[in-house]
Chain A
Amino acid sequence: MKISLNWLNDFLPVSQEEAAVEALVHDLAMLGFEVESRESVRRDLSGVIAARITGIEPHPDADKLRLVTVDRGEEGPQTVVCGAPNVALGKRVPYACLGAKLPGLDKPLKKAKIRGVVSEGMLCSDVELGLSEDHSGLLELDDSWKAGECLDERLGLCDTMLDIDITQNRGDAFSIVGIARELAALRGVELKEQPRELPEPSGEEAVKVSIEQGCAQTGAPRYAGLVLSHITVGDSPRWLRDRLEAVGLRAINNVVDITNYVMWETGHPVHAFDRREIRGNEIRVRFAKAGEAFTTLDGQQHELDGEHVLICDGERPVALGGIMGGENSMVAEDTSEVLLECACFDPVNIRMGSRRAGIQSDSARRFERGVDMDNVPEVLQRMARLMIDCCGAQVAGPIVDEYAAPRQRPEIALRPARVTALLGLDVPKERIVTHLRSLGIEVREGEGDTLLARSPSWRFDLEREVDLIEEVVRMEGYDQVPDQLLAGIPLDQPANASLALRNRVRDALVRLGFRQQCSYSMVSPDLLERFHPERPALRIRNPLAAEMSVMRHSLLPSLVECAVYNLNRSQEHVALFEIDREFHPDGQSETGCREGMMLCAVLAGRQRGADWQDTERRFGFHDLKARAEELLRELALKDLEWSEGGEGPWSANTLSASRKGRLLLQVGQIEPRVLAAQGCEEELFALQLDLEALEEIGAGLPQYRAFSRQPLLLRDLSLLVEDRHSAGAVREVLEQGLRKLLSDLRLFDIYRGEGVPEGRHSQSWSLSFCAPDRNLRDKDVDPLIKKTLARLKKELGVELRG
């Protein structure tokens, strides 16, 4: 909410000095009202005086210009060139002296030659003075202005606007008075009253007011009206327009402006009806009928339901209660009598009602946070007083006030000891009482040490002891609360094992050269569809956009999307991973969803190369496999059942590892057609590890195995293998046959071509042998190799290559 410091100054002394404004902003922050922005407004009219037109001559050289002589009081007469149409003898208009810095001009005013005639100074319209956008003619000053009087005193402006964040619970502070009240409490000053005394009514004009049975409790507990006559609808005075415009409201006419002014000042939304349109001389407050149509004053028609409150005259609805007035009864240019409304509405009713009707109004914004119900007559008086002063109004009758459901404000017990116990700040009882009273809270002694407190009528957030404790600490100052260090840490607290395991996996991935990504859980349904059309997805009812409308049931699409994004931006080496949740619809779960923790990693692009000492190589399946094996080693996972082949997005080049039938890990190449749909022509390899399965299986710690410190004996074997046999099969036989002395083996070459018969290939294995206790010699190893070769020949038809 925007407030003007000039306006605030009506209630308590406020200075525009920089230091004072700083202090004010700080005080507001420490009261719980954050100032989001501030802005200075300065309209300096010190170089402009009132002048009376004493002579008008035609310009010798221009039809539309005239030479106007003005009386400037002590400064004497002066003739200037003027083109305004509303020049007339005797009129009082603003005259800007040479050197004046006008708000509407870029530079100080200089002597000017206009069509051959020198003009010293100028007569001004609203535009040059920065008063409005009206440039139809000179600003006409009324007869109260004396020639030579400086305009700055009456039309100048020096103000500061603060935009204040009002929290949901503080409807009482949603006004100039509300903010003033808080500051007055903190600074210990008295609030000044604004004029609201009214003369005796000139007659007995009044409308009958009734609130329908049932509507008072949950709709409109109070409704009051007052009839004013002899109204002249016109522009509001400058000071009033200035204040409204400063806080962001548009000036419309004096009657409407005053209703807005009173709302901003008191926080109580009010309304003015054209009395001519109130039929049957009565106001009935009732709930709308379901489906009832009503047109609000902005010309919008709304279909209402049985919980909207309607303000009706004898025949029809005239306002949507607490939200907006009706088009049929709004004040017009020729309105001379008005019915002023000041009513109270149920906060929740207004909040939900305006939401259902799709109307946001300043009125609803206030009523939904709670508006003082006990100040209704005072608000009506204040509004009437302003209309008497600004619209020539007369009070035509008494205030008619129907307070059908008075608000109860029960006493709240407050134990001073509890204040200290909750805050850790010792506040003596007398100070507690002082603080509460400064906020308008009634306090009396209760039984024992207890205090009994009653909320002021404007507060809606004080219902419990703890609410009062907050008021005490707010007044005492949050900065007065000491900072205490932790007492007694509970020791037997459960550790988070799944987080620890997740971090272990995560750190292993980082060591293996993967970068962690973090992507949205909400994704496009099309994306998921491309990877897993068979899986159902959780759909968001009110998504931000179609591409964020379902919860992902697989991390893989997000990883692929990110990899493609980076490949498309010339990031050649892509090694990414993410550990997060997958969401699966599950009717059995209380949240309708089963959330599984997954690791997904991808490799794509150039593994190495493009450097002066490396030859280029692109990522292949085995690069990922090596990393997967290293991960499994780190997690000490053994006894996995391996299978080949994939489905869905996983191509045939996929290895899967399970344990007791539960799928744990997949390592494979993603189907090129799935990638193509994603706009990716690269080969892409992915790894997926089910962290919940991992947690169930339980990752171990690597167990130390003694290694031999004897020198290694190295042997290379080149084997001719039929193409139908895999390296894995050969390796198995080698490991089996040589296991007594084999320390390590490595496949270092695969060869097809000259010297190798058709249908076969050559596998070159490098073997290293050692024994725990002695230095091996050829004679130890040779027989073993010979036996194993025989076995290879027998089982796989493998021969030693010559």
Chain B
Amino acid sequence: MQEQLDQLRTAFAEALEAATDTGALAAVHHRWLGAKGELRTLFGQMKQLPAEQRPAFGQAVNALRGDLEQAFFAKQESLRASVSADAIDLSRPGPRLHTGGLHPLAQVQDRIIEVFTSMGFTVNEGPEVETEYYNFDALNTPFWHPARRDSDSLYIEDGHMLRTETSPVQIRTMQKRRPPLRMIAPGRVYRNDKPDATHSPMFMQVEGLAVGHGLTFAELKGTLLEFYRRLFGRDTKLRFRPHFFPFTEPSAEVDVSCVFCRGAGCRVCKQSGWLEMGGSGMVDPEVLKEVAIDPEEYTGYAFGLGIERMAMLLYGVDDIRLFYENDLRFLRQF
């Protein structure tokens, strides 16, 4: 009889040892300690014993049950503790990722380049330190023009200057390539402007030029409309207003229907429904003559737009200086 009890004790200990999760533990309980478990069966056998042996047997089985239950609860306790140690806390933050990223101005410039190249424009570049000839004279800007003053443009000590627009690239390109041509010139330009929320002594521009047979003011409008539609959506509208630039005639200021209120009027467009995007016009005959292109044979159009302005609109940036401060707390947002 005692042997039977010892066997049961051993078997139980082994099973308990083997149980590593709550499911296995429940099975152990069911087999030995359950309502139809082996201990119950032992108690059932008591009836078959002679009466004088029964009390001793009862005590032994009860003692065994006490031992098993104690072992079981201890195991259950330890299993519970170990289970909660292994469970992952889903609310913990993942480790900070240090990803790379493009500067927001580069991202906007990329989009602009992508749209124009898909429309058949090439991308051309030129020097940032320029001669006055390329920056002004060749672009029909007379010597007395206010843009040439020290208070407007930045000059190098040796008499050269920092380009105030990327238009010199147009001249340089036209000197090398004959029409028909379609090009854009992205890049840095410089002005003698004190930095404030909307001004920067250095900023980025994209200028475009197309020269060919029979290019018209209407095509300039169509080209810019298509460009802004691809950038801001198909329902974008375009408005041309007369303006003056020395290198184009007729010249137009380009407005785009406000990308935020869709023309209804809001804070960004100052209730006008329009956003001013840049200048444009038909290339002035004097400019074409300067690069020995006959304005009777060819016509052309040109346009310019500011990348910062567009980035400020697209990303809701309210101070142009943020782009050049390079604070990681700013850069990481793009």
Contacts and interface: CB of A to CB of B under 8 A. Distances in A.
Given A518-B103, A593-B127, A566 B120 contact: no
A425 B217 contact: yes
Interface stretch (B12-20, B74-82, B319-327): B319-327
A442 to B, nearest CB: 21
B221 interface: yes
B150 A542 contact: yes
A43 interface: no
Contacts of B93: 611-612
B130 interface: yes
A424 B221 CA distance: 10
Contacts of A521: 128, 188, 190, 202
A9 interface: no
A495 B125 CA distance: 12
A482 B241 contact: no
A740 interface: no
A496 B169 CA distance: 14
Interface stretch (A118-126, A281-289, A486-494, A768-776): A486-494
Given A514-B100, A539-B157, A490 B182 contact: yes
Interface string B100-117: 111101100000000000
A506 B105 CA distance: 14
Nearest to B325: A565
Contacts of A316: none
A538 B156 CA distance: 7
B214 interface: yes
B100 A515 contact: yes
Contact of B326 (A469, A490, A565): A565
A30 B327 contact: no
Contacts of A518: 103, 105-106, 323-324, 326
A710 interface: no
A591 interface: yes
A518 B104 CA distance: 9
Nearest to B282: A422
Contact of A581 (B128, B218, B252): B128
A470 B182 contact: no
Interface in B41-92: 92
Interface stretch (A134-142, A447-455, A543-551): A543-551
Nearest to B150: A542
Nearest to B92: A612
A662 B80 CA distance: 68
B326 A517 contact: yes
A487 B120 CA distance: 10
A566 B146 CA distance: 39
A516 B102 contact: yes
A677 interface: no
A474 B145 contact: no
Contacts of A352: 144
Nearest to A510: B100
B217 A583 contact: no
A32 B145 CA distance: 19
Contacts of A506: 102, 106
Nearest to A474: B242
B154 A543 contact: yes
A167 interface: yes
Looking at A484, A521, A573, A590, which has the most chain B CB atoms within 10 Å of its CB?
A484
Given A32-B243, A513-B99, A591 B324 contact: no
Interface string A91-113: 00000000000000000000000
Interface range on chain B (Cβ under 8 Å from partner):
35 or more
Interface string B187-206: 01010111100000110000
B267 interface: no
Contacts of A388: none
B222 interface: yes
A306 to B, nearest CB: 17
A46 B150 CA distance: 53
A473 B123 contact: no
A611 B95 contact: yes
Interface in B240-288: 240-244, 249-253, 282, 284-285
B129 A595 contact: yes
A169 B194 contact: no
Nearest to B283: A466
Given A34-B241, A542-B192, A513 B129 contact: no
Nearest to A425: B218
Contacts of B156: 538-541, 551, 592-593
Interface in B282-319: 282, 284-285, 299
A389 interface: no
B231 interface: no
Contacts of A32: 241-244
A612 B88 CA distance: 13
A727 interface: no
B324 A519 contact: yes
A479 B221 CA distance: 10
A610 B125 CA distance: 44
Given A518-B323, A544-B192, A482 B103 contact: no
B327 A565 contact: yes
Interface in A595-649: 595, 608, 610-614
Nearest to B113: A499
A696 to B, nearest CB: 17
Looking at A483, A543, A573, which has the most chain B CB atoms within 10 Å of its CB?
A483
B100 A481 contact: no
Given A495-B122, A593-B129, A470 B249 contact: yes
A173 to B, nearest CB: 11
B98 interface: yes
Contact of A168 (B119, B129, B180, B244): B244
Contacts of B120: 486, 489-491, 493
A466 B93 CA distance: 66
Given A464-B285, A591-B131, A494 B101 contact: no
B100 A614 contact: no
B39 interface: no
A226 interface: no
Interface string A192-232: 00000000000000000000000000000000000000000
A180 interface: no
Nearest to B152: A542
B249 A575 contact: no
Nearest to A494: B122
A170 interface: yes
Interface string A574-591: 111000110101000011
A168 B324 CA distance: 31
B226 interface: yes
A168 B244 CA distance: 7
A520 B202 contact: yes
A467 interface: yes
Interface string B156-189: 1111101000000000000001001110000010
Interface in A505-539: 506, 509-522, 538-539
A542 B253 contact: no
B129 A592 contact: yes
Given A169-B244, A521-B202, A499 B123 contact: yes
A7 B200 CA distance: 38
B130 A29 contact: no
B239 interface: yes
Interface of A: 29-32, 34, 167-170, 348, 351-352, 355, 421-425, 461, 464, 466-467, 469-470, 473-474, 478-479, 481-491, 493-496, 498-499, 506, 509-522, 538-544, 548, 551, 562, 565-566, 569, 571, 573-576, 580-581, 583, 585, 590-593, 595, 608, 610-614
11 contacts: A32-B243, A474-B250, A496-B122, A519-B324, A522-B190, A541-B157, A542-B192, A571-B327, A573-B96, A575-B100, A593-B129
Given A348-B142, A494-B177, A551-B156, 18 more contacts: A30-B241, A32-B244, A169-B244, A421-B299, A423-B218, A485-B223, A489-B182, A490-B182, A493-B182, A513-B100, A518-B106, A519-B324, A519-B326, A522-B154, A573-B98, A593-B129, A595-B128, A613-B95
